[in-house]
A and B are shown apart, each in its own frame.
Chain A
């Protein structure tokens, strides 16, 4: 039974193929059954593989299934092969499990959309690419999945391409990701050159055998991390994720919260030996993660669009995962990835349910007091918010606490401090969202109010399931202070995360750290309550008092504008300049002018007189002179 794991990505692939070829002819009902069942199939196989993995001894990790030899040319060999080890098993279960729930939700959410079949085709294609990414046994195949999820993300962000903003958001996501991918690709090339193989086992063996130096490890690790900052929306390449919210909400939940954007974290965890060897690279990961965690949280403070708040929150939470990986607590980072998948997709789906109830309204300023209209959405949303804020016994508490404790224990006090600051902000903006949306005065549009209704069961049941997991998912990884054996999650991953290191701290200190993180979470909630329930005039007054800071935050630090001025415009202008010199464009003038055949010879002649050919030949000649001149001089 251990062999069947290679089927995990290919079930959705088969479904994609059927939908792409015959989708338009199939009835809607069939499409939804097939798409959901395909993902469910992957989930079942993932669970079976996970269980069979428990029977296998640690020494035989990873199990590799070689499907065929993709490229073999001299020293350059790549196999199409998949692997199963604790890390990929966990990822496969999270991806297919959450993916399945979101597929079901989509059946209700997209029911009236014209592009129903197209939507499920893309979604299944995404599942294939994502599962390929997490199960690949070498970096090249991982890169194929990596590009594949990027492409699906682009297609799904721009799903409602009639909206101009959606189409351009898709393009932005795609291009920003390509910048990261360029770094990733260079990293892969260096791996091939110095290690000679892209297989993860070979890379780990080479690192273990001392085949690569520390400097080289740093170079490769940083190049790979550039790719991760693109895909996982970290500083400086995070700018695409907030715009990506133009896509359908289940897509935001699946791709831009639970799975794809965490691929960077998975990659760093997968390469943990490399980051451990480098040291410097790991520090960079930790610092970028910590800064992003706080930075993104500050931008979430002032947004009024419910999905954008969640988007900045995702960026911030992924920052926490990178803190975990950077400080050497890879298991904690992965643990946060796993709990985050539940509560963040819950929050997005619940936000989608709110939108559904309010005929697509996203602005929190036009909500308020919704809790009595949405009896199921409200409590599930609240559970998600509590989980992310880090209140004890909810899943987010355990994972965030594991990360922060590890950061402190391993001596990253600065990073720990930023993490605590981020935790206050997180609790604050989440409860700001809750209070503005569900509590307080009703500020609804009267027209919207007429149609207000709770979502159908096909949408609320997934909410309940995810809420359930948001509560209990954390209990597989209890803190060390409660007993060493209770961190099942960490123990399960231990054999593949050998690059991690733990420093033990006294129980008292650990209790204090837990106390601090619980304290700051409560503090954030209380401030939010004070600001938005008790004395709703305070935010207004703060805004008047500090208009500059407010504006800076509201406009997201003007980063989009700065990037445009620094990178986009110079490229466009450079292109224009080069265009003016190298593409004389005279021929276009002829197209735009009359296309009369008469007098055509005269026209041609006049072109010559205008010096067109002369210009071309002149540039040619200049090239020759420089060319030959160079040869003579050197």
Chain B
């Protein structure tokens, strides 16, 4: 239905982002927690609006903003992750001295960009959303102003990000030149009807893949990831590991799913994605073995997970991809929550050595982090196992047996580095005096919600799967 309502979720987020920015001026530094509360309330309202709009299929701007179930499901995922990040940040930003008023505003603006991305079928609008997301991200990365790592990461992210955007725009220009449209449906129709495909269109598509591949951190476009993940404030790292990935994969689904379904001979693109998937899984997991910094381990782990997600894309199984993303959201957020928990005033404990003996000193953090890591490694009965099983078995069904064998072997390697953290927590004597701020109810709320999510999705995923199937059936 053509309705102004379609703008509501976006308007709420943008409005509250600006409101937070203004309110900040009137609040004392120690009262800035209120900004977090306000953001949370409006994130919840926005999520509620999304639930109300399920099945309504509102659209606006000639269909350039389309709230179908697919968009709504992804918007929901994005809002949920942002909510988690806000909760994780509350204590963190005052402890680590990043308590600037623009923190929440930038976060909300970033997610508004991601929402634009998932709810538009037009590549030009999508790139607009991507830029909103990216520019806020660059600023968020550098928020630890007194930390040289953070500033360095911000500049790197900015330069390389601009580099990637250039390719993206060039790709879009080529596609437009070939198909005379920026709308995904028209472009797909062009690919399907044109008997003699111009090279221009194909290269355009390739460049688009590269542009989004940068954000998803696919190898070899991943070089920024570890540095940025390590340098950014940790809640922001958690944000980066989920939100841009989810948004870009949503777009991949919108672009590629119709391709696989039709007669379009996408062999070249298919094998390219196949190779990138292998590279991403192998490089991500192998390099992670050598890391001693937990944030870097998680950075490489997130690269590797992008590889598994790509397997799901190649398996042409939307619901397995979306399910994997949902599980990934919970387990990764949970792992980062536990990492954030291990910090005190002006000090974060991020080296593997710091984790020695943590399991006994802080049993809740130890147990939950272990479960998240086991889930990331794909252990039953957690959600991570089911997600991997689901993805790999649909890939085998598509005949991608070599890809699955590589994937299974790569995830075998991953067990080692996830296990290493657990071994340090439980099987080493505490080597350094680690002393953390324990009173952090918001963070523990995130830990338990993620724990619930990982177990619910592992033990009783049926209801979520029904929703996911509804969401992807429209593609």
Contact = CB atoms under 8 A, between A and B. Distances in A.
Interface stretch (A454-462, A507-515, A575-583): A575-583
Interface in A599-634: 600, 603-604, 607, 612-613, 615-617, 619-620, 622-624, 627-628, 630-632, 634
Given A595-B148, A628-B207, A583 B287 contact: yes
Interface string A562-592: 0000000001101110110011100110110
User: For B223, B230, B461, which residue has the most chain A Cβ atoms within 10 angstroms?
Assistant: B223
A73 interface: yes
Interface stretch (B84-92, B188-196, B422-430, B440-448): B422-430
A530 interface: no
B21 interface: no
Contacts of A488: none
B5 interface: no
B167 A143 contact: no
A597 interface: yes
Contacts of A623: 210, 220-221
B390 interface: yes
Interface in A140-194: 140, 143-144, 147-148, 151, 158, 161-162, 167, 170-171, 174-175, 178-179, 182, 185-186, 188-190, 192-193
A148 B379 CA distance: 9
A631 B461 CA distance: 40
A414 interface: no
Nearest to B291: A583
A597 B146 contact: yes
Interface stretch (A64-72, A259-267, A276-284): A64-72
Interface in A527-574: 571-572, 574
A604 B149 contact: no
User: For B214, B319, B427, which residue has the most chain A Cβ atoms within 10 angstroms?
Assistant: B427
B436 interface: no
A632 B405 contact: no
Contacts of B155: 604, 613
Contacts of A588: 293
Interface stretch (B128-136, B157-165, B332-340): B157-165
Nearest to B202: A631
B203 A178 contact: no
Contact of A71 (B153, B209, B426, B461): B461
B28 interface: no
B412 A182 contact: yes
A40 B432 CA distance: 44
B272 A630 contact: yes
Given A603-B148, A620-B164, A575 B412 contact: no
A161 B427 contact: yes
Summarize A's interface: helix, strand, loop or mixed. helix
Given A71-B462, A620-B220, A587 B152 contact: yes
Contact of A624 (B159, B167, B392, B462): B167
Interface residues of A, number: 68
A567 to B, nearest CB: 11
Contacts of A612: 156
Contact of B210 (A188, A193, A579, A627): A627
Contacts of B397: 192-193
Contact of B160 (A144, A167, A188, A616): A616
A455 to B, nearest CB: 29
B465 A147 contact: no
Interface stretch (B232-240, B244-252, B413-421): B413-421
Contact of A186 (B163, B290, B405): B405
A76 B423 CA distance: 35
B289 A575 contact: yes
B389 A185 contact: yes
A597 B396 CA distance: 53
B151 A604 contact: yes
Contact of B290 (A170, A583, A591, A615): A583
A590 B206 CA distance: 36
Contacts of B419: 171, 174-175
A620 B226 contact: no
Contacts of B390: 71, 73, 76
A132 B41 CA distance: 44
Contacts of A158: 427
Contacts of A622: 220
Nearest to A170: B427
B3 interface: no
B380 A144 contact: yes
A404 to B, nearest CB: 37
B396 to A, nearest CB: 5
A143 B380 CA distance: 8
Interface in B111-162: 146, 148-149, 151-153, 155-156, 159-160
A68 B227 CA distance: 45
Interface in B1-27: none
A162 B207 CA distance: 53
User: For B148, B149, B426, which residue has the most chain A Cβ atoms within 10 angstroms?
Assistant: B148
Nearest to A615: B223
Contact of A616 (B149, B156, B413, B428): B156
B224 interface: yes
B290 A178 contact: no
User: For B151, B155, B415, which residue has the most chain A Cβ atoms within 10 angstroms?
Assistant: B415
Interface in B299-358: 319
Contacts of A616: 156, 160, 223-224
A18 B159 CA distance: 54
Given A171-B423, A186-B408, A613-B160, A590 B413 contact: no
A162 B429 contact: yes
A2 B230 CA distance: 58
B263 interface: no
B413 A578 contact: no
Contacts of A147: 379-380, 385
B286 A178 contact: no
A174 B415 contact: yes
Contact of A607 (B152, B282, B287): B152
Nearest to B205: A631
B287 A613 contact: no
Contacts of B227: 587
B89 to A, nearest CB: 23
A151 B379 contact: yes
Contacts of B408: 182, 185-186
Contact of A634 (B267, B413, B426, B427): B267
Given A71-B465, A587-B227, A632-B199, A576 B412 contact: no
Contacts of A140: 389
A189 B396 CA distance: 7
Contact of A627 (B206, B289, B415, B429): B206
B268 A631 contact: yes
Nearest to A69: B462
Contacts of B210: 623-624, 627
User: For A170, A186, A623, A632, which residue has the most chain B Cβ atoms within 10 angstroms?
Assistant: A623
A578 B286 contact: yes
Given A595-B148, A597-B146, A167 B423 contact: yes
A575 B167 contact: no
27 contacts: A70-B462, A73-B319, A161-B428, A167-B423, A186-B404, A186-B408, A189-B404, A190-B396, A192-B393, A193-B397, A571-B289, A572-B289, A578-B286, A587-B152, A587-B227, A590-B149, A590-B152, A604-B151, A604-B155, A615-B223, A616-B160, A616-B223, A622-B220, A627-B210, A627-B272, A631-B202, A632-B203
Interface of A: 68-74, 76, 140, 143-144, 147-148, 151, 158, 161-162, 167, 170-171, 174-175, 178-179, 182, 185-186, 188-190, 192-193, 571-572, 574-576, 578-579, 582-584, 587-588, 590-591, 595, 597, 600, 603-604, 607, 612-613, 615-617, 619-620, 622-624, 627-628, 630-632, 634
Given A71-B465, A188-B393, 12 more contacts: A70-B462, A76-B393, A167-B428, A186-B404, A193-B396, A575-B289, A587-B226, A600-B148, A623-B210, A623-B220, A628-B203, A631-B206
